[in-house]
Amino acid sequence: MPDLFGDRLIDAIASRQAPICVGIDPIFDQFPSELTEDIDPGDTDAVLDSIFEFTTRVLETVAPLVPVVKFQSAYFEKYLWEGVEAYYSLIAEAKAMGLLVIGDIKRGDIGTTAAAYAEGHLDDVATDDIEDAATPDAITVNPMMGADTLEPFVKVARATDKGLFVLVRTSNPGSGEFQDVKLEDGRTWSEMLAERVNQIAEGLVGSSGYSSIGTVVGATQTATMESLRRRLPKSIFLLPGYGAQGATAEMTRSAFQNKTGAVVSASRSILYAHKDKKYAAHFGDDWEAAVKQAVLDMKADLDKVLS
Amino acid sequence: MPDLFGDRLIDAIASRQAPICVGIDPIFDQFPSELTEDIDPGDTDAVLDSIFEFTTRVLETVAPLVPVVKFQSAYFEKYLWEGVEAYYSLIAEAKAMGLLVIGDIKRGDIGTTAAAYAEGHLDDVATDDIEDAATPDAITVNPMMGADTLEPFVKVARATDKGLFVLVRTSNPGSGEFQDVKLEDGRTWSEMLAERVNQIAEGLVGSSGYSSIGTVVGATQTATMESLRRRLPKSIFLLPGYGAQGATAEMTRSAFQNKTGAVVSASRSILYAHKDKKYAAHFGDDWEAAVKQAVLDMKADLDKVLS
C-alpha cells in the first residue's frame, strides 16, 4: 500500500472500481424497526448500542463494495462523550474491515487550537494506547478563518501520511449565498478559495498525481464544478449531495479526470434505503439487502458517466 | 435573571463591571510546575486530572471578577472522549460558580447535521439526566456554508434561551485573506456576512436591546471594526485576540456602544500569566495570584477605554 493518503485513496477507488463514499450518518429515528423497537429513545446506552449494531452491519455490507466511508461526527457528538467514544471505536472497526475512513468534522481554528484538533482527530498517537479506537485516515476542515489556519492540519497530515478535505463549495441549498458571491476581480469567493487551496495541495502530491489535500465540492454544484476542477487539478474531489440531497451521477461528470480523481458521497439514500419505496417493496425487512442494492445502483449510475 | 441569553450576558457584564471573557484553553505544557511535575505527559488520565485541577482553580479565581468564560473545545477533544467528558463536567462547574459559559466549538454543517450538533452542544436535554455535566449557555458557529446552515442552531438557541456567536471576522494574522476580500459591490466578504447575520440577530433581540445571536470579531481587526459594528448594531461582539494575540483595549473601542454590547476575550495571557516576566517576578509560584492580577490589569486597561 502506498504511503500517501491521496495515493491510497486513488488506489482503493481503482481496486473497488467504485468512486463511492458511504456516509455514516447514524440517525436513530430512521433505523430499521428491528433496531429501534423496545428501545426508549431517552435511554442513551440503549440507543448507542443500537447505533453500534446498525453501523457495524452497514460497514460489513458496504466494505466489499466501496473504498471509503465518511463518519459524520455530529451524529456521535449528539450523545456527548459516549457518542464520541462510539465514533472512534466504529472507525477502528471500519479500518479493520479494510475501508479507508474520512472523519467529517469540519473543524477550523487558529494556530495552536487547530494543532490540538489535528492531534485529537488525525494523529494516531491519540489512539495508539487505546484498544478498539482509531483516528480516521482523513478529516474535513473548514478554511473560512484563513489559509494560515489550515497549516497545523497540513503539518499533521504530512507527518502521519493522512489527508484533508478542505470545504470549497458545499452541497446545501443556501451554499451559494456566501460561497458564490462575486469578487471585484470576477472570480467567485469559492474560486478564489480553490486557487489558494491548490497551492497547498500541490505540496503533497503523490505518485498517483493526486494530493493528500483534497477538497469538498457539493455534487449539486454543476454550475461551478468545471471551474473549480480547473483550479484544483491535483485535488481529489469529495462530492457530497448524491441521492437524498438531489444530485445525480451526471452532475458529477466534470469532477472526474480520466475517470478518476473524485469520490461521490451518499449517506441517507444508502443507509435508509429500506424506507425508499423502490427498495421496500422488493426487500421488505431485509434492510441490509436494500443497503447493498442502493450501493450497486449508485455504482451502475456512476458507471454510465465514467464509461 | 432575564430569560434571553443576550440579556443575561449584558446584565452579567454590567454587574461585574467587566466586559471580559476568560478563555479556558488548558494546555498542559504551559501549566504551572506544581501541576505538571511527576506527571507523564503520555498518561492521559493523569494529564486530565491535572487539567481538571488547573481549570477548577482558574474558574474559582476568575468567577468573582468576570461574567463569562469561553471553553475551547479543541484542547479537550485532543484527549478524545475522556477530554470531552471533562469539557462537559468543567462547564457544569463553571455554571455552578455563577459564570456564563460559551462553548468555543466553531461548528457548522447542513440541516439535519447542524441540528445534531445543536442538540449535543446547546440543548440541556443532552445533559439533563447526567450528574455533573452541562451544556454551555452559548456556542460559536461557523457560517461559511450559508445562512441556511445557521437556522438549526438558531432554532435550538431560541427554544432553550441560549445564544450563538457567529464568526464574522476572526483574529488570526491570515484572517483577511478570505474574509476581507472585496466583492464587486464594494463590500468585503465579512461586511456582507455581517449584514446577513444581522437579519438573523434581529429576530432574537431582548429587553437589553441586544440579541442572543452575537458575533465573533477579532479584537485585532481595528480597520474593519467600526464598519462591522454599524452593520451589526444589535449583536454582542465577542472579541478574541486580546493579550497573547496582540490586541489592546484601545483597539476594541469601536466595538462598544454606550460602554456596552461587547466582551473582550483573553485566554493565554491570563491563564499563563505566571510565565510572563511582569507577573513572575512579583508572584513567584503563586500562579493563581498572577491569574487574578492579569484579569485586574485587563479590567483597568479596558476601563480606560470605557470611562
Using CA atoms, how far apart are residues A168 and A156, in angstroms rounded to an integer?
Answer: 21
Cell 476581480, located at residue: A185
What's the gap in Å between the CA of A15 and the closest CA on chain B? 31
Residues 189-218 on B with a CB inside 8 Å of A are 189, 192-193, 196
The closest CB to that of A145, out of B74, B114, B170, belongs to B170
pLDDT of residue B101: 98
pLDDT of residue B2: 63
Residues 74-113 on B with a CB inside 8 Å of A are 74-75, 77-85, 88, 106-113
Residues 243-272 on B with a CB inside 8 Å of A are none
What's the gap in Å between the CA of B90 and the closest CA on chain A? 13
Contact between chains at A110 and B181 (C-beta distance less than 8 A) = no
Chain B environment of A42 (Cβ under 8 Å): 129
pLDDT of residue A1: 52
Using CA atoms, how far apart are residues A236 and A214, in angstroms rounded to an integer?
Answer: 5
pLDDT of residue B9: 98
Chain B environment of A271 (Cβ under 8 Å): none
Q: Does A181 touch chain B (CB under 8 A)?
A: yes
Which of left, alpha, beta for A80 (phi over 0: left; psi -120 to 50: alpha)?
Answer: left
Structural domain containing residue A28: 10-306
pLDDT of residue B84: 98
Taking CA atoms, what residue in A is nearest to B147?
A174
Is residue A3 situated within a structural domain? no
Q: Where residue B31 sits, what CATH number does that domain have?
A: 3.20.20.70
Contact between chains at A110 and B170 (C-beta distance less than 8 A) = yes
b/e per residue, A35-56, with b = 16+ CB within 10 A? bbeeeeeeebeebbebbbebbe
> Greater confidence, B244 or B189?
B189
Q: Does A117 touch chain B (CB under 8 A)?
A: yes
The closest CB to that of A78, out of B119, B147, B181, belongs to B119
Residues of A with a catalytic annotation lie at 106
Chain B environment of A88 (Cβ under 8 Å): 80-81
Taking CA atoms, what residue in B is nearest to A82?
B81
Query: Total domain count for chain A?
Result: 1
Average pLDDT over residues B145-157: 98
Name the active-site residue from B95, B106, B182, B299: B106
Q: What percent of chain B has pLDDT over 90?
A: 93
Is residue A237 situated within a structural domain? yes
Average pLDDT over residues B112-140: 93
pLDDT of residue B256: 97
Q: What are phi and psi of B283, to 5 degrees?
A: -100, -15
Taking CA atoms, what residue in B is nearest to A189?
B178
**Residues paired with residue A262 on neighbouring β-strands, in sequence order:** A237
Cα separations in angstroms, B89 against B24, B136, B232: 13, 11, 34
Is residue A4 situated within a structural domain? no
Contact between chains at A170 and B110 (C-beta distance less than 8 A) = yes
* Nearest Cα residue to B140 out of B236, B206, B65, B28: B236
Taking CA atoms, what residue in A is nearest to B176?
A146
Using CA atoms, how far apart are residues A226 and A237, in angstroms rounded to an integer?
Answer: 12
The closest CB to that of A85, out of B81, B170, B176, belongs to B81
The closest CB to that of A81, out of B27, B88, B114, belongs to B88
Alpha helix (H) ranges present in A108-204? Answer: 111-122, 151-160, 176-179, 189-201
Contact between chains at A110 and B183 (C-beta distance less than 8 A) = no
b/e per residue, B195-226, with b = 16+ CB within 10 A? ebbbebbeebbbebebbbbbbbbbbbbbebbe
pLDDT of residue A2: 63
Is residue A171 situated within a structural domain? yes
Taking CA atoms, what residue in A is nearest to B84?
A81
CB contacts < 8 A, A to B, total 198
Q: Is A11 exposed, middle or buried (0-12, 13-18, 19+ CB in 10 A)?
A: middle
Predicted ipTM of the assembly: 0.97
Q: Flag whether pLDDT at B205 surpasses 90.
A: yes
Contact between chains at A27 and B112 (C-beta distance less than 8 A) = yes
Contact between chains at B146 and A196 (C-beta distance less than 8 A) = no
Q: What is the pLDDT along chain A (307 residues), one digit of tens a residue?
A: 569 999 999 999 999 999 999 999 999 999 999 999 999 999 999 999 999 999 999 999 999 999 999 999 999 999 999 999 999 999 999 999 999 999 999 999 999 999 999 999 999 888 888 889 999 999 999 999 999 999 999 999 999 999 999 999 999 999 999 999 999 999 999 999 999 999 999 999 999 999 999 999 999 989 999 999 999 999 999 999 998 888 999 999 999 999 999 999 999 999 999 999 999 999 989 999 999 999 999 999 999 999 8
DSSP, res A181: P
Is residue A1 situated within a structural domain? no
CB of B131 closer than 8 Å to CB of B89: no
* Nearest Cα residue to B71 out of B53, B57, B89: B89
Q: Flag whether pLDDT at B1 surpasses 80.
A: no
